[in-house]
Structure 1
C-alpha cells in the first residue's frame, strides 16, 4: 500500500531509477515518524502528491502552463520598488533578487526555497484556478538528452523548447581555478520560439548574465527591460544530474552541512553539484542568471526537485533531519555572520509572511499544518 503511493501512474518510458527505489524503500519511515509525531489531519493518505512532469497527462501539463501564463497576467505587488515588475510572476523574481545573498550558501537555502515553491503553487491554484500541484523535474530522466525530453521538446505539452542557435563562450563556474571548469555551450542561446512560453516577456534583469543581452536601466536589475526568453538546453551541464549523482548525494552525506555543500557545488574542486547542473541545463537568459533565474518558468520544476531530494534525504532519519540546519546566516559566510538556527525568520516579502525556519523543515505538518505533501 505504501509503495503504491509513489509508484502509481508512472510514465512507463522511465523505469524507476535508484533514487525512485530509495523513495519506495523509505516511505514507511514517514508512517513510523507520524505515529510518534501526529500532525493533525496530515497523514500519508491525505497528503498532496507532487508528480514528475512526464507522469502528468498532456491535459494536466497544459493546465499547469496555462496557469503560469495566467500568473503572468495578474497585477504585480512589487512595482513600487521594482518598476520592471509587470505581473505576479515577476514578483517572484523580484523577491528572489532581493534575497539572493541571504538564501544561497546559507542556513536558509533549503527551507526558504521550500516556502517559495509552496507559495508559488498556492498562487497558481488560488489566483489562476490550477487544480493540480507543483510538478518536479526528475533530472535523471532526461539527463542524456534533455533537448528531446518531454520537458524541453517545444511541444504543447512541454515547458517550452530550446533557444535558437547563438554564439557565446559557455559558463565559467564561480570560484573555478582551472579553464576546463567552464561548461561548454550547446546549440541554443537565442530566443525560445516553440512551446507555451515562446511569446513571454522577460522583464527583470539581467544582473549576472551568461549571454550578451540588453543591460537593465537600473543598477539593481529591477528596472523594466523587456526581451525574449532565451535558453541553451545543455547536456554538458545535465551530465552531473544523472541518478547516481543524486543517489550518492543522499546516501553519502550524513549531516546537513555536507548534504547542502555537495548539492550546491564545490566549485574550487570543480564539482558543480546537482543544483548547479540543473540550472545550467536550462541556462540562457534569465535562467542562467544567478539572481533572476526564476524568470524562466522551468526554474520552479528544478527547485521542486531540489526540495524532493531534500525530502528523500530527510526521510533517512526524520527525527534528526527535520530539526537539523547548517551554515551561517549569510551566503558563504560573507560578510561573516552567526550560525543560523531553527528560530531564525524566513519570508517572501509581500508574497508571504516571515516564519521561523523550524516551520519549514517538514513537508508533513510544517507551516502550521499548511505543508502536507509528498513526492510520487
Structure 2
C-alpha cells in the first residue's frame, strides 16, 4: 500500500528516501523515460480532454512502482504538493528535498536537483541543460487556495461534451484549469520554465503536483460515488471508458480509463483521506421483476450486478420513459466490457441480448444525455426456452484455416472469436477488408487477461497481431476503430 503524504510534513529521513530513489531512477535512465513518455504523447489525447485525469493517474502510479523498486520500500508513495501550504517558503523547497527557486536567470542552484547534479532532457532524450524555475513570475503569482479547491470539489458531472476545454459544467475541466479557479494549470505556470513544456516531468515537483491533482480526483470520487467517468462511449477515440489511452505502455494494470478508476484497488492511500465504506452493488435476480431505479443527478451512473448460472442466451433491458445507455462487463471482472447499447429496446430504452458464460456480470447504466435525469427499470431474463438447439458458441478460428467473414453492424459492437494453440510458435491474427478494425488478444484459457492489441498494423486500416503463443485457448475481440463505425471484415489466424 503506497501512502502518499503532504510533502511539507515529511521527515528528514523521508526526504532522503524520496530523493535517493529519484536519483537512482535518473542514473538508470528510467526517469528520463518517464519524461519522454509524457513529452511524446499527443497533447490533445492527455490534456484538455476526459482522459487527463486517468492518464496522469496511471503515469504517476508507474513512477511510484519504480520508486518502490529502487528503494526496497513497498509503501513508498509520491508526496503530494499541497498547494495552499506549498508556497516558496514551504519546507518541500528546502535543500534536502526539491531545492528552491531559480536564480535571476532561472537556474536552480541549490538542492539535490541543482545545476551540475541534475540535467534535464528534451523531447528526443538529449541533454538540455539545468533545471530551471521562476516562482510566480509568469502572470500567476499565487497558488490555489483551499477555498478554490473546495469550489471545484463540488462540481459535477465528471465531464461533458464537447469533451475539451469548453466543457461546462465539468469537474475534469475545472481541475485541469481551463475554467473555474484554475488548479492544475496554475501550478505548472507558477513554477515556470522547466514546468511549462511537455517535458515538464524533468522537474520532480511535476509528480508531486500531479499527485495533488490525483488526490482531489480521488476525494471527489469518494464524495460522488455515482458520478462515473465520462464519456463511457461515443466520445473521441482514446477518451471513452474502455479505450486504450495514448502512449500508455502495457504494465501491471491496464491502459484504459476504467483500469485506474479505483485508487484503493490500486493500493494507493492518502494520509488525510477518510475512506467511506462503499454500499454493496445492487443485485438483479435473473427472471425477477424489473428493479426500479433513477438517475437523480446529471452525469450519474448506476451500477448493478447479476449472476449467470450457466451458459446460454440472456437479455438485459431497461424500461420506462428515460433514454438509457447500458454497458455490460464480465464475467467476474467489472472492467472487461462485453457489450453496450443505446436504443435497441422499446422507445429509447437499452437492450443487450448475448450468449453469456456462467459468472458474475456488472451493468453500468446512465442516461444518453449527460445533462439529463429520470427514472427507469432494469431486468435480466433468460432466453433459453429449455430443450432445443444449443446456444451458438463463440466462433472458432482454425490455425491456417479459412478466413471468417463478419461485420460490425451496429455502433459500439464488438465480435469475439476463439482459437486453440497446440504448439508453441509465432502466430499472426489479422483482419482484411474495407473496415478500420481494432483488435485485442486475450488468454491463454481466459477472456480476461489482455496480451496485445492493435489498430492499423495490417493492410490499409486493418488490425494485425503477431505474437509468440504457448499452448492454450485464446480469444480475439474485434471492433471498429470509431465507436460509431460499422462495416464488413474477414479475420484469419496463421502460423508464422
TM-score interval (norm. to shorter): 0.5 to 0.7
> Helix, strand or coil: the match of 1:136?
coil
Question: 174, 191, 207: which is aligned to 2:107?
Answer: 191
Compute the TM-score of the two structures, normalised by the length of structure 2. 0.48
CA displacement at 1:375 relative to structure 2: 4.1
1:359 aligned residue (252, 259, 263): 259
Whether contact under 8 Å (1:90, 1:204) holds in the other structure is yes
Correspondent of 2:173 among 250, 261, 265: 261
Instruction: For residues 204-228 of structure 1, give each alpha carbon's deviation from its aligned partner in whole angstroms, at most 9, with x where no partner exists.
Output: 22xxxxxxxxxxxxxxx31513311
Q: How many residues align?
A: 258
Deviation track 1:173-200 (CA, whole Å, cap 9, x = no partner) reads xxxxxxxxxxxxxxxxx21111111133
Larger radius of gyration: 2
Equivalent residue number for residue 132 of structure 1? 76
Q: Secondary structure at the match of 2:27?
A: coil
CA contact (8 A) 2:143 2:186 kept: yes
What residue is the counterpart of 2:192 in the other structure?
283
Q: 1:264 to 1:372 in 2, by over 3 A?
A: closer
Over residues 225-270 of structure 1, what are the superposed CA-to-partner deviations in whole Å (9 max), with x where a residue is unaligned?
A: 3311110122763525111111100013444341111122237xxx
Are 1:192 and 1:228, in contact at CA under 8 Å, matched by a contact in 2? yes
Aligned 8 A contact 2:121 2:129 in 1: no
> Does residue 58 in structure 1 map to residue 1 in structure 2?
no
- Larger helix fraction of residues: 1
Mapped to 2, the partners of 1:239 and 1:123 lie a distance apart of 32
Provide the alpha-carbon RMSD of the alignment. 2.6
CA contact (8 A) 1:136 1:305 kept: yes
Aligned to 1:246: 149
Shift of 1:371: 3.5
CA contact (8 A) 1:105 1:327 kept: no
In the alignment, the residues of structure 2 paired with residue 99 and residue 272 of structure 1 have an alpha-carbon distance, to the nearest angstrom, of 26
Q: 1:238 to 1:352 in 2, by over 3 A?
A: farther
2: CA distance, partners of 1:110 / 1:371: 17
C-alpha spacing 1:165/1:350, structure 2 compared with 1 (3 Å): farther
Question: Can you give the 5+ residue segments of structure 2 that lack an aligned partner in the other structure?
Answer: 161-169, 273-496
> Judging changes above 3 Å, is the alpha-carbon distance between structure 1 residues 272 and 251 closer, same or farther for their aligned structure 2 residues?
closer
Higher strand share: 2
SS of residue paired to 1:191: coil
* Whole-angstrom distance in 1 between the partners of 2:143 and 2:120: 30
Work out which structure has the larger RCO, using CA pairs closer than 8 Å and 6 or more positions apart in sequence.
Answer: 1
1:312 maps to what in 2? 219
Q: Deviations over 1:20-45 (max 9, x none)?
A: xxxxxxxxxxxxxxxxxxxxxxxxxx
52, 65, 72: which one pairs with 1:122? 65
Distance 1:344 1:60, change over 3 A: same
Aligned-partner SS, 1:49: strand
> Could you say if the C-alpha distance between residues 94 and 275 of structure 1 is closer, same or farther in structure 2, counting changes exceeding 3 Å?
same
Give the superposition deviation at 1:127.
2.7
Q: What is the SS of the residue equivalent to 1:165? A: coil
| TM-score, normalised by the number of residues in structure 1 | 0.63
Assess if the C-alpha contact under 8 Å between 2:32 and 2:125 holds in 1.
Answer: no
Secondary structure, aligned partner of 2:103: strand
Report what 1:293 is aligned to.
Answer: 200
Question: Is residue 257 of structure 2 the alignment partner of residue 340 of structure 1?
Answer: no
Residue 92 of structure 1 is aligned with which of 17, 34, 55? 34
Give the structure 2 partner of residue 110 of structure 1.
Answer: 53
Is residue 2:232 matched to residue 1:232?
no
Shift of 1:273: 1.2
Moved over 6 A (4+): 350-353
In structure 1, what is the equivalent of residue 91 of structure 2? 150
Residue 54 (structure 1) shift: 1.5
